[in-house]
Amino acid sequence: MIPDSFFYQIFESLPRQGPGCSGATRKAWSFLPPIHKNAAVLDIGCGSGTQTRELASLTPGTIVAVDNHQPFLDTLVEKAGRDGTGWRIKTICASMDALPFEKGRFDLIWSEGAIFIIGFENGLKTWKPFLKKGGFMVVSDADWFEHNPPQELLQWWEKEGYVPASEDEMKERVNRAGLRLIATYRLPEAGWWDNYYVPMLARIAELKKTRGADPTCAAILDSLEEEAEMYRKYKRYYGYTFFVMQKV
């Protein structure tokens, strides 16, 4: 388990805290029907809010961005202020499994690469009550693209404590959560490599100079390098899929 302080030392300066890209955010958005101009949007597990700011460029509505680490939210507020969208974005420091909202408040719930923290199906069921009737939910999560992944890759995921399901199984979980699946979209490779692993590996190289002598920190940095190497070797077998859904 990464100690919180060192985790944040690694990730606070990165443009994203997980795989993603603005093009994929826009593409996932394109599967939604027109969202009315006064829409209330909730971005859960927003991190430093790169996708939150992209959402603000796609809708004139209001966005509530939630994360449990205040410095990420501070970064979002600063950057959104520079974008001129800060007045439409409200940040709340809260846990995704204890959201402080009334039921039926939001037209759209969005979450990129964060729902794994509480589990895909559990997250859908936990967040669904906060949607208005007929509201939409868009989340991305890891899943298998091909059956029978290599043993080395499967063992790595098991060591990480989170084994993906197939896309078909994920679709079944959407159904069990009582949501209607509108579309799916796979995050392109650039969302993993160019926008996440390249800056993360550069940050790891920096930290190895200052923290590499600490065995705990060194093990964490090595683990993150291994994660990037797993993706480089086995990206055909897994990735993130966006699930675009509606509350019926």
State the Cα–Cα distance between residues 130 and 240, nearest whole angstrom: 24
Q: Are 137 and 127 in contact (CB under 8 A)?
A: yes
Q: How many domains does the chain have?
A: 1
Could you tell me if residue 178 is inside a domain?
A: yes
Q: Which residues in the chain show pLDDT less than 70?
A: 1-3
Over the stretch 103-132, which tens digit does the pLDDT of each residue have?
999 999 999 999 999 999 999 999 999 999
Report the pLDDT value the prediction gives residue 100, as an integer from 0 to 100. Answer: 97
Could you tell me if residue 50 is inside a domain?
A: yes
Report the pLDDT value the prediction gives residue 58, as an integer from 0 to 100. Answer: 96
Could you tell me if residue 44 is inside a domain?
A: yes
Over the stretch 192-220, which tens digit does the pLDDT of each residue have?
999 999 999 999 999 999 999 999 999 99
Assign residue 67 the CATH number of its domain: 3.40.50.150
Could you tell me if residue 230 is inside a domain?
A: no
Report the pLDDT value the prediction gives residue 162, as an integer from 0 to 100. Answer: 87
Could you tell me if residue 12 is inside a domain?
A: no
Could you tell me if residue 231 is inside a domain?
A: no
Half-sphere CA count of 13, side-chain side, radius 13 A:
11
**Sign of the dihedral defined by the CA atoms of residues 110, 116, 120, 124, in that order:** negative
Mean pLDDT over all residues of the chain? Answer: 95
Q: Find the domain containing 111 and state its range.
A: 18-188+236-247
Closest CA to 85 of 108, 45, 110, 52: 52
Beta strands, E only, the chain: 40-44, 62-67, 89-93, 106-112, 131-144, 165-166, 179-186, 238-247
Could you tell me if residue 96 is inside a domain?
A: yes
Could you tell me if residue 112 is inside a domain?
A: yes
